[in-house]
Amino acid sequence: MHFSDLGVAPTILRALEAAGYDTPTGVQAEAIPAAIAGRDLLVSAQTGSGKTAAFLLPALTKLSERSTGKGQGPRVLVLCPTRELAQQVEKNALEYGKDLRWMRTACLVGGASFGYQTRALSRPIDLIVATPGRLMDHMRSGRVDFSRLEMLVLDEADRMLDMGFIEDIETIVKATPESRQTVLFSATLDGTVGRMAEKITREPQRIEIARTETSGGTIEEHLLYADDLNHKHRLLDHILKESGFDQCVIFSATKAYSEELADKLSDQGYSAACLHGDMPQSWRNRTLNDLRRGRIKILVATDVAARGIDVPTITHVVNFDLPKQAEDYVHRIGRTGRAGRDGTAITLAESKEFHKVRRIEQYLKRQITEGVIEGMEPTRRPPKGPRRNGKPGGYGAQGQRRGGSSNGNGYGRDRREGGYGRGTGGSYDKRGPRAAGSSQGQRSTQRAD
């Protein structure tokens, strides 16, 4: 199958070819023709599935034809939970729409200058990508004209609701014409998201993509238990020295600690920086650019950064702290293994945090292979429980794996060989657990940022 079979406009096909997209991913194959046909869509798809192009290609196909509507407001509006994600979506739109030379886009996110955004809104505009808060600011000052809006996209709708944007979203939706097409992407379509989706869509087509789809490579996952914070630091030192990483993202639970850890690593001679939600947007942008250009080798980030970073050269992700929400685990590790490359994700957990690990595993519907580093074994073992899987030995006795037992970076080998994986190694296809299905794990609304 090719993108031209899905009805994507010829002017966009050239850009896709240049971007190296040969074949549509599963979510693209299903969502693109339906969206081009004008259907409302409810799509459950994970990051890494190619979901951004799944809504941008129909949107750009619409924009490739002249508007029949009056006014100069946006014809397409994409709402995103975070600034980084919004910027990434606009970047992709400009990449796929590079031959739509007349197309004008704006990215309306907090932390960026109002002046630039206001100027963009004062001229005819085709596509706006926005976070709800900043868009509402512009709407309050009467700067946004939705009279010719054709398509509304809610990207990562579950995340926007978790972040408390429900009222903003309702206000924004009310301000748009009823004739609009609505396309909603979310990890889950149940609960609050489902109820909201029912209100804002008309006879939507539901598309559920099992987590077995991606355009990414294989991510090898490991879990290392530690006794305490000091032990975690020793494990991290070892990982950074021995893993042969090219670029690494380390996730920390708090903003303060992300700064402290980045400073510590800089003092050790690494080119390290931190990224969290309290940093001015210009600084966040600069940091991401430096990461893309390879000037930063280690980025210490909080979860706010987990969804917007699309840097194919990130070879390793280290969860220095466990994520507060189980689903964030998937987003965090998805920062590596991008654009068809392989990656490694190592999660550190204190032994007393075993119940949090279980929660993540319940969400994933699989176990993460537990490993040890020789000479750095934890003195306390987490209790044996449901992880056991009916096999003697319990933890990590049988890791999940797809493809080879190691991606050649020393992880996932048998313990006797000095690697981390105790069993067969834990290679895991980023497409998701083999037992796939659209698992909806336990959720909490706590956020790190």
Q: Are strands 181-186 and 41-44 parallel, antiparallel or unpaired?
A: parallel
Q: Answer for the pair 324, 444: CB distance below 8 angstroms, yes or no.
A: yes
Length, in residues, of the chain: 449
Residue 298 CB, nearest approach to ligand AMP (Å): 21
> Is 411 one of the binding residues for ligand AMP (CB under 6 A)?
no
105-108: strand order across its sheet: 105-108, 127-130, 76-79, 151-154, 181-186, 41-44, 205-208
Judged by CB under 6 A, which of 8, 30, 35, 51 binds ligand AMP?
A: 51
Residue 301 CB, nearest approach to ligand AMP (Å): 17
Judged by CB under 6 A, which of 8, 39, 52, 321 binds ligand AMP?
A: 52
DSSP 120-138: HHTS--SEEEE-HHHHHHH
Residue 330 CB, nearest approach to ligand AMP (Å): 12
Q: How far apart are CA 432 and CA 429, in angstroms?
A: 6
Binding-site string for ligand AMP from residue 273 to residue 312, where x marks contact by CB under 6 A and - marks none: -------------------------------------x--
Judged by CB under 6 A, which of 6, 32, 47, 279 binds ligand AMP?
A: 47
Residue 266, both tokens: 């800089």
Q: Is the dihedral of CA 121, 95, 299, 440 positive or negative?
A: positive
First-to-last CA distance in the chain? 41
> Is 50 one of the binding residues for ligand AMP (CB under 6 A)?
yes
Judged by CB under 6 A, which of 6, 12, 26, 48 binds ligand AMP?
A: 48
Which segment (24-32, 63-71, 345-353, 375-383) binds ligand AMP by CB under 6 A?
A: 24-32
Residue 42, both tokens: 């409810």
Residue 155 CB, nearest approach to ligand AMP (Å): 9
Q: How far apart are CA 165 and CA 276, in angstroms?
A: 19
From 213, 199, 104, select the one nearest 157 (Cα to Cα).
Answer: 199
Closer to ligand AMP by Cβ: residue 50 or 433: 50
Looking at residues 203 to 222 of the shown chain, list those that interact with ligand AMP (rule: CB under 6 A).
215
> Is 186 one of the binding residues for ligand AMP (CB under 6 A)?
no
Closer to ligand AMP by Cβ: residue 219 or 357: 219
> Residues touching ligand AMP: how many (CB under 6 A)?
16
> Is 339 one of the binding residues for ligand AMP (CB under 6 A)?
yes
Residue 26 CB, nearest approach to ligand AMP (Å): 10
> Is 423 one of the binding residues for ligand AMP (CB under 6 A)?
no
Residue 339 CB, nearest approach to ligand AMP (Å): 5
Q: How far apart are CA 134 and CA 137, in angstroms?
A: 5
Residue 291, both tokens: 């990461």
Residue 192: enclosing H or E segment and its boundaries? helix 191-200
Buried b (16+ CB within 10 A) or exposed e, 353-377: bbebbbbbbebbbbbbbbbbbeeee
Residue 13, both tokens: 């096909």
Judged by CB under 6 A, which of 53, 200, 272, 304 binds ligand AMP?
A: 53
Residue 27 CB, nearest approach to ligand AMP (Å): 8
> Is 336 one of the binding residues for ligand AMP (CB under 6 A)?
no
Which segment (7-15, 23-31, 264-272, 273-281) binds ligand AMP by CB under 6 A?
A: 23-31
Q: Which residues lie near ligand AMP (CB under 6 A)?
A: 21, 23-25, 28, 47-53, 215, 310, 338-339
